Structure 1
């Protein structure tokens, strides 16, 4: 029982980037504490001001711990902090949660943690510098980090199968910070709930996953579902996911004499392929990806003459070509070129613009971006 507990007690504690080379600082009498960290010195280069360009240097520090309470119960916790070092730098507590693991009965924790859909959207959040569009945004429910989440996880379906896992989650008044892109609509905090399930398909290397999350407040309903597939062995990694997010507003506003209700639907898919090549010194992993998210906005006008107007436009569309060169487990070099496929009049081009209206001539965010960087992690 103890070996089984130790094998599954903290499966989610060390999933963040930079947490794969942690330093064990304490291991005695059933208590264990690890520290891990990462310094990324990176820059995103483009020839026009748009969001995400420029310095992207940051540092992270985290700790995870566990304690053996009984033969069948393990307590655990995790904390992680990040400080950005760019021009518009800010600091953030990324994770802060604690919980109990009951072996085959599953685990329960509470605090600041990943939304339950992150487990699915993370299938394609593996690019050297960019990516994560399905995970870190304001249009998906419980797909990014958020505060006040209670999560139940079972990683072996009550001991019946190591290939099947699931999770249930409830967010109590989810994060509305302007710095953290998580589940918020018009900066309003709200309750949310969701679930996911994943199946490692026998010994094929394939994993299939799906999840659903929803939040409702004052008649406004926002829900997201996502599905994904990934294939992995030592050399080859393939990932794909698809999501659909709906925001339905029951309230109405008067615009130009008409009663208006604006409903939005966002659909997106992401594809990633990576292949690792062992070199005499280190390991090189080329990466290729395609990302496309599209927004459909319906504005229904009710007056003497009923009619429908709306918008159907990409909000993210690009091809990524890059590589990660791991000199060893602690030091890496990254390079990635994002071929931006957005047109000037696309919604995503407006969202990615960094021009200041009234001061600088507005320019859409349609330029390609080159990201380069060095990463030290322990």
Structure 2
């Protein structure tokens, strides 16, 4: 029996939502609860020891909706990730990815609060679609509003309050989050910030989007003398006809992108580009096969000097600062969908970073990575 268009539509929906194949576990008295998840057997093959080996994980969550009145409903979502490659006595890496609750006011819009995706990811998600590698030129969790983060209050309206078809708007506020690491560490914390994103569906599978976010930096972050503010903007476009998917994104950040293995330094400026494509075969002997291709690059400007010993004056294996590629690679992969619940993939990251003083001083990986995955999802 041919999968054809139903599979194409499902895969397209899967790219847009982590709960595209959720199982309904309760639906009664205007209350609905969906449970979703996946188990991923994943192995990396690389000359870099830190990247080589078992990377398996399991992920699950729920989405709930309750009807309060004809014009008002409530909703919530929670999602958790478990790294199954750790020994049973350890829980390193296990974490809540999403946890937010909100209210939806008919066609006017919705408001929610909690751990959610930052508005910059509204655009970055266009290129974060391939099997294993991609979408990470500047997007990182708990890094201002570039990816998943805590303390986010978000208002969203689609079709611009019900008056303009295809035009969506999001406004977001993030509260101050103290740095959870050591006092000398600049990672993960943030001051108060705000952001906005907008997208327009042109029809024929074409969508355009843009976003901007600005945040105060913490005192620890600002101790690098690069200023009190971190901000970023990005623009993106995508084409999706359920079989062919094409997307591109460009972004610039200031004092927002950290670099190096320690993630303890922020680039004064980065320029980022991501291009992604995949095609799903829905007929013939290749039915269910989806090859993919992506290009990801982040260029840092006015970077601080770094030495392997931690002493910027140490000339041996030291980076003098200035302009440098922080991320640069080509992704070549393919997935095969047995059905809507089971698929496998091979994804190859061709690392274009060179072995130089920067990668030596910061410990950034320059080796290629081959990812082999088998996924069951519901």
Compute the TM-score of the two structures, normalised by the length of structure 1: 0.80
Q: What is the match of residue 209 of structure 1?
A: 209
Contact map agreement 1:13 1:64 (CA 8 A) in 2: no
Q: What is the match of residue 245 of structure 1?
A: 253
Deviation of 1:175 (Å): 7.3
**Does 1:166 find its partner at 2:177?**
no
**Does 1:233 find its partner at 2:241?**
yes
- Is the partner of 2:68 in helix, strand or coil? strand
Structure with greater strand share of residues: 1
**Distance (Å, rounded) in 2 between the aligned partners of 1:22 and 1:263:** 40
Shift in alpha-carbon separation, 1:263–1:279, aligned structure 2, 3 A: closer
Contact map agreement 1:138 1:185 (CA 8 A) in 2: no
- Unmatched runs of 5 consecutive residues or more in structure 2: 1-12, 220-226, 257-265, 306-319
Deviation of 1:247 (Å): 1.6
- Is the partner of 2:135 in helix, strand or coil? coil
Partner residue of 1:333 out of 339, 344, 349: 344
Q: What is the match of residue 70 of structure 1?
A: 69
Q: What is the match of residue 262 of structure 2?
A: none
Contact map agreement 2:33 2:65 (CA 8 A) in 1: yes
Q: What is the match of residue 269 of structure 2?
A: 265
Q: What is the match of residue 80 of structure 1?
A: 79
**Does 1:143 find its partner at 2:151?**
no
**Distance (Å, rounded) in 2 between the aligned partners of 1:116 and 1:164:** 15
Partner residue of 1:113 out of 113, 116, 128: 116
- Unmatched runs of 5 consecutive residues or more in structure 1: 1-11, 179-183, 249-261, 301-308, 354-363
- Is the partner of 1:157 in helix, strand or coil? helix
Q: What is the match of residue 287 of structure 1?
A: 292
- Is the partner of 2:268 in helix, strand or coil? strand
Q: What is the match of residue 153 of structure 1?
A: 156
Deviation of 1:197 (Å): 0.3
Shift in alpha-carbon separation, 1:223–1:347, aligned structure 2, 3 A: farther
- Alignment RMSD: 2.7
Shift in alpha-carbon separation, 1:348–1:275, aligned structure 2, 3 A: farther
**Distance (Å, rounded) in 2 between the aligned partners of 1:116 and 1:340:** 28
Compute the TM-score of the two structures, normalised by the length of structure 2: 0.80
Shift in alpha-carbon separation, 1:158–1:62, aligned structure 2, 3 A: same
Shift in alpha-carbon separation, 1:336–1:14, aligned structure 2, 3 A: closer
Contact map agreement 2:172 2:194 (CA 8 A) in 1: yes
Contact map agreement 1:109 1:151 (CA 8 A) in 2: yes
Contact map agreement 2:14 2:20 (CA 8 A) in 1: no
